[in-house]
Amino acid sequence: MSGSEGSSDRSAGGGDSSSTAGASVGDKKKDKAKVSRTSLILWHAHQNDAAAVRKLLEEDRSLVNARDYDYRTPLHVASLHGWIEVSKCLIEYGADVNAQDRWKNTPLADAEGAKKYSMIELLKSYGGLSYGQNGSHFEPKPVPPPLPNKCDWEIDPSELDFSNSNIIGKGSFGEILKACWRGTPVAVKRILPNLSDDRLVIQDFRHEVNLLVKLRHPNIVQFLGAVTERKPLMLITEYLRGGDLHQYLKEKGALNPSTAINFALDIARGMAYLHNEPNVIIHRDLKPRNVLLVNSSADHLKVGDFGLSKLIRVQNSHDVYKMTGETGSYRYMAPEVFKHRKYDKKVDVFSFAMILYEMLEGEPPLSHYEPYEACQICGRRTQAYVSCKRLHS
């Protein structure tokens, strides 16, 4: 009898354990499905597909206030682009018209920042209020950094999902992987394990993090967070689906003047923000590989990779500074950097000119020379031009 009871008890215990494990797996599947549907409704809101948004909401009404990693709702997305029908559908299903994103912006603030006047009227008619930075997500003017405290941006590595990751870039000190963070694709710069104790590597990594946390502009790759308290050290930014400008030019060749000008304007806006005095950031490695396309349509560019950037506090706009020479990529390097002379933010302007030439011609200047030789020749030609100008002045 006692044996029978013991067996029964063990059987019951085993059943509970199995049930708990099953529930756990079920919960994980539900969470994953929820993340997927969140991405879907945000995507359809961005694409102005009111029918698809409505269908999702009919299936799951709670998606109306779904949020991405910046806490932006479908109504934020629709308001920014001025999609009236999508917004009406979302409001009909109970969207919070005054939901605030990561930077405390409401949908109305985004609509005002993007000058979507019909949307502004619609949101106000439903009690929309304008909180935040007046359309921070795509507002071109500089705004205060949103993440001043480390606790706001330090990421728990367990939140990063590398199960379907792939390498999208490599460097001397690390690799860049496409991964997933809170259900959203992100780019992760990860320091190589054999360099995780190298003092200079750690110093450079922390320098880049401290620089990126201060930057926020539509034409600068957005910093999301970093892992600095555990190894491997990782820096997390938004993932841009369009790849880099180098690959784009390799596939397309010379761009038509209209496209080249639009691309150049995006790069120039990002660089003008970095060069804003008195706290000037010199990129020092501006090249097509460090200019990223937001999507495959290539309708928006962002400047990225600030590993070699330098922050200087400008006392006088004509001052030049003694900084490390031969920093960056020879093909796009200004002569004064190559020659280890004093330099300022104009070295980025030189690199920008090289990129513009490449966009119009389909290949970089002096492409039939090796990068180091091309840099030498540019230096000699620049010196000859300066000497000639002095003789005629």
Active site residues: 285
Helical segments of the chain, H only: 2-46, 50-59, 74-81, 84-92, 107-113, 117-125, 150-153, 199-212, 245-252, 257-274, 335-338, 346-361, 371-391
The whole-angstrom separation of Cα 355 and Cα 331 is 10
The whole-angstrom separation of Cα 146 and Cα 186 is 19
The whole-angstrom separation of Cα 243 and Cα 324 is 29
The whole-angstrom separation of Cα 43 and Cα 52 is 10
The whole-angstrom separation of Cα 388 and Cα 393 is 9
User: Which residues does 13 contact at the CB level (< 8 Å), separation at least 6?
Assistant: none
Token digits of residue 110: 């985004």
231 is in an annotated binding site: no
Q: Under a CB-based contact definition with an 8 Å cutoff, are residues 224 and 237 in contact? A: yes
Tell me the binding residues.
Answer: 189
Tell me the binding residues for ATP.
Answer: 189
